[in-house]
Amino acid sequence: MRTIDSIAHLQREGELLADAAAEAGEHAPVPTCPGWSTGDLVRHTGTFHRWAARIVAERLPGPVPEDPMPEGPTGAALLPWFRDGHGGLVRTLRAAGHETDCWTFLPAPSPLAFWARRQAHETAVHRVDAESARGGKLTSLDPAFAADGIDELLTGFHARSGSRVRAEQPRALRVRPTDADAAWTVRLSAGAAPRTERSTDGPADCELTGPAQDLYLVLWNRLPLDAATLTGDAALAALWRETSAIS
């Protein structure tokens, strides 16, 4: 996905998040983030927006510790604070050149491409959280954007040694969206991080299929497994569910 498109998705998703949070109210519980209120969610996302904008704007080398989540703002100041930070991040990314050099923590064509992609998906997942607090139908995700988010999760986050997804015996989990030109085979073992191939070569022990949006949210544990069509070993999908949380 082009960087300019990632930034456009970031802008859209942040605006939708703020709108959903306004409808839900600051103290509404967030079903997809047990123990959090909508206010907690907004402060968390707004803090990460400011953190990312600072890294890009100041071209910081890394690693850069995450900014602490603020105790405030609350009440009437909360959403203006969020919108200000979100807008600042969008403006920072649009102003940054592709030669911008700063810290990243996943492979990417450039630091700018990384931060635009990462913050677009960070915001999209938390927009879904805000809409779950509000109730009602979730706003649809573009299939190509959702597929890009699946790719980031599988080939980025779960390629790191910190991924907790392990299998005692070698296993293969396939993910195949029905509305995007993409597919992944995730190979699990006991002693190493998952290894993801952007292909459907070879057999798979379990396959998840469905619209890219549903697979994206299933893999991020925002929808239940039965939101996808599962064939093969359901225990392997359950293993993913139990061990794949990103912290």
Q: What is the helix (H) or strand (E) element at residue 214, kind and residue range?
A: helix 212-219
Same domain, 60 and 161: no
Q: What angle do CA 63, 247, 189 make, to 5 degrees?
A: 100
Residue 42: the pLDDT is 98
Residue 69: the pLDDT is 84
Q: How many domains does the chain have?
A: 2
Residue 70: the pLDDT is 83
pLDDT in tens, 153-210: 999 999 999 999 999 999 999 999 999 999 999 999 998 999 999 999 999 999 999 9
Q: What is the mean pLDDT of residues 119-136?
A: 98
Q: Are 116 and 3 in contact (CB under 8 A)?
A: yes
Domain of residue 83 covers 3-134
Q: Are 132 and 98 in contact (CB under 8 A)?
A: no
Kindly report the CATH number assigned to the domain that includes residue 229.
Answer: 3.30.1050.10
Calculate the average pLDDT of the chain. Answer: 96
> Could you tell me what percent of the chain has a pLDDT over 90?
95
d(CA 182, CA 150): 10
Same domain, 45 and 126: yes
φ, ψ for residue 187 (rounded to 5)?
-100, 120
DSSP string spanning 72-124? ---GGGHHHHHHHHHHHHHHHHHHS-TT-----SS--SSHHHHHHHHHHHHHH
* Domain finish residue from 101, 134, 167: 134
pTM for this predicted structure: 0.96
Of 241, 38, 22, 35, residue with least CA distance to 133: 38
Q: Token match 């071209």: residue?
A: 59
| 231 residue type, one letter | T
Same domain, 77 and 164: no
